[in-house]
Amino acid sequence: MEKTLAEEIGAWLLSEMDSRPKKRSTTYLLGKHWEVLPDVWPPDPVTRLFTTWLPFTAGSRFLEVGCGAGMTCVVAAQHGCASVVGLDINPQAAENTLLNAQRHGVSDLVTAYTSDVFDALDSSAKFDMIFSNPPQIKMAVGREHSMGAEAAALDPGFMMHRRFFRHVGEFLAQDGRIYMGANEAVGDAPELERIAAEAGFVGRKLRTEPVQIPAALIGLTPAVKAAADEHGILSLDVSMFEFRRP
């Protein structure tokens, strides 16, 4: 059976991660160098888009669920957030976030914890902005994955999305806002909106922009070729949604 476009892109993303050198490295985005530890998903053009789209407010309390290498947490602190917390199920990602906070001079504002969604937070914690770019690849329920890089990419049955919205209200300030990234090529934006609505949140699509990838990088399978333009380019929409209480 031929794979869908989402399955092809998902397999490519994981193969890219598997092929990365298993050693500490750096990457360059937003005019800065970022440390990347082994088995941490590196900041990429989608990370850049979401980070620049977030409406950071001076003095606000910011939480990122799935902080990865910590670029968004660092930028939040640099844009005036009074306190910044990063959470990630991957212990190396939490360490990576602290490394980049130190590298860019905001270690006094940024804290990071190893956490399965909100598990590491104190029950009294409240945030004005909560952001997540969750695992986007909606695999079948029962698909096993590691707790490292694959956990940043795979969300069998969108179960992480469901857990997020089931508990996020406990940590959101009364007038707070939730921001969530969505890759509409490999994810399921309509289901994301349904899950949020079932949890009592009103949502809207804040921004959308295509990210272009040469189809040959993924592999010229039938699904990929059908989606590519005449120049062999895939144009994949990524979006940011904003959610709030009614």
**Count of domains forming the chain:** 1
With a cut of 60, say whether residue 43 has pLDDT above it.
Answer: yes
Contact between residue 72 and residue 52 where contact means Cβ atoms under 8 Å apart = no
Domain span at 148: 5-244
Kindly report the CATH number assigned to the domain that includes residue 44: 3.40.50.150
* CA angle (117, 120, 123) in 5-degree steps: 100
Cα dihedral sign, 203-204-206-212: positive
Contact between residue 60 and residue 82 where contact means Cβ atoms under 8 Å apart = yes
Higher pLDDT, 183 or 58: 58
**pLDDT for the residue 207:** 94
Confidence of residue 86 (pLDDT cuts 50, 70, 90): very high
**pLDDT for the residue 150:** 47
Contact between residue 153 and residue 139 where contact means Cβ atoms under 8 Å apart = no
- pTM to 2 decimals? 0.88
Q: Strand order in 110-114's β-sheet?
A: 110-114, 83-88, 61-65, 127-132, 172-183, 233-244, 202-214
With a cut of 50, say whether residue 42 has pLDDT above it.
Answer: yes
pLDDT digits (tens, 9 = 90+) for 163-178: 899 999 999 999 999 9
Higher pLDDT, 127 or 154: 127
Task: Say how far apart CA 234 and CA 183 lie, in whole Å.
Answer: 13
**pLDDT for the residue 171:** 98
With a cut of 90, say whether residue 154 has pLDDT above it.
Answer: no
Nearest to 150 by CA among 5, 8, 18: 18
Q: How many CB atoms lie within 10 A of CB 204?
A: 9
pLDDT digits (tens, 9 = 90+) for 117-147: 999 999 999 999 999 988 766 554 344 444 4
Cα dihedral sign, 144-88-9-242: positive
Task: Say how far apart CA 37 and CA 95 lie, in whole Å.
Answer: 8
Alpha carbon distances (Å) from 156 to 37, 93, 152? 25, 21, 12
